[in-house]
Amino acid sequence: MSKPKVLIYEPIHQKGLDYLSEYADIIWASGYDEDTISLEAVEAEGIIIRANGAVTAKIMDSAPYLKVIGRHGVGVDNIDVEAATKRGIYVVNTPGVNTEAVAEHAVGMMLALSKKIVESDRAMRNGNWNFRYESYGIEMQGSNLGIVGMGKIGYRVADICHAAFNMNIFYCDELANQKGETELSARKAVLSELLSISDYVSLHLPARRSTFEMINSGSIGLMKGTAFLINTSRGTVIDNNALYNALKNSDIAGAALDVFEKEPLPDNSPLLSLANLILTPHNAAHTEQAMIGMAMVVKDIVSVIKGEMPKYPVNSL
């Protein structure tokens, strides 16, 4: 008897593949465009997507046996959840498994910006030992941290910074975070106030119409000239042209980005020319532990295919 088929967009951890292959035959997508996926999903009962591509209504309609779509990670902005729900298709994800990885990456970016670690490395490789006399870092101790989006990852960033550096925590979110206010002495603020008082601004927002280019020339203009901006959430929340101009003109001290509106970041992007900007290739969640956790979305894929309820459904059927 043949096994059900599961289409996977990008490689996942071997532990996930080993589990899945016991129950299903794996089909590897040969491209991320809608037409290619539509052809290759014809026999699929499950789909697993990571950061690239999307699962659209057209793709779902091309896959008559499709029962479940799994997001390797948390954000489901590249899955048409409404279309899936209408068609009786489960959408599942892996909440919480990448929280520590992304939070540590964000804090690492803050440290790298503060201590000029990347610039110091470049100087050393260029034979410039005198860089030690030319530029100085700053200390994070007791400074103000603004968290925009106080979900699990935003909270963990605040938790680390409060415990390690006694940073004062301010946050902007639709909902009050009582735990943060009680345990971290965090104070809720509107975005304009948070930007104006923060020494570090860390973004933890989903990709939505309401968050599109939330950080633009106007909002960046509210920030201190000594402040740093960190984004490990979604690239669409920042107006890249506005950020480029602000960094080029030293309107803010620096920034660090792990996510971009277009991925991969184009080779001709002006962002690549900025010395006060740290760039990483959307790999904040890429720790061994998190990659295993995200790959285990296969458990819910298998459960749904077998007619069982998933553990982490995004939608209700």
With a cut of 80, say whether residue 1 has pLDDT above it.
Answer: no
Question: What tens digit of pLDDT does each residue of 189-217 get?
Answer: 999 999 999 999 999 999 999 999 999 99
Give the residue range(s) of CATH 3.40.50.720 domains in the chain: 5-97+288-305, 99-279
Counting Cβ atoms within 10 Å, is residue 269 exposed (0-12), middle (13-18) or buried (19+)? middle
Pick the CATH number of 5-97+288-305 from 3.40.1210.10, 3.90.1150.10, 1.10.3720.10, 3.40.50.720: 3.40.50.720
Q: Is CATH 3.40.50.720 correct for 99-279?
A: yes
pLDDT at residue number 178: 98
pLDDT band at 265 (very low <50, low <70, confident <90, very high): very high
Alpha-carbon dihedral of residues 121, 125, 128, 134, nearest 10 degrees? -10
Q: Quick check: 21 and 8 in contact, CB under 8 A?
A: no
The count of residues in the chain is 317
In angstroms, how far is the first alpha carbon of the chain from the final one?
29
Distance (Å, rounded) from C-alpha 197 to C-alpha 25?
54
Q: Active-site residue numbers?
A: 234, 263, 282
List the one residue out of 24, 77, 15 whose CA is nearest residue 47: 24
Percent of the chain with pLDDT over 90: 99
Question: What tens digit of pLDDT does each residue of 17-72 get?
Answer: 999 999 999 999 999 999 999 999 999 999 999 999 999 999 999 999 999 999 99
Question: What tens digit of pLDDT does each residue of 97-123 get?
Answer: 999 999 999 999 999 999 999 999 999
pLDDT at residue number 287: 98
pLDDT band at 272 (very low <50, low <70, confident <90, very high): very high
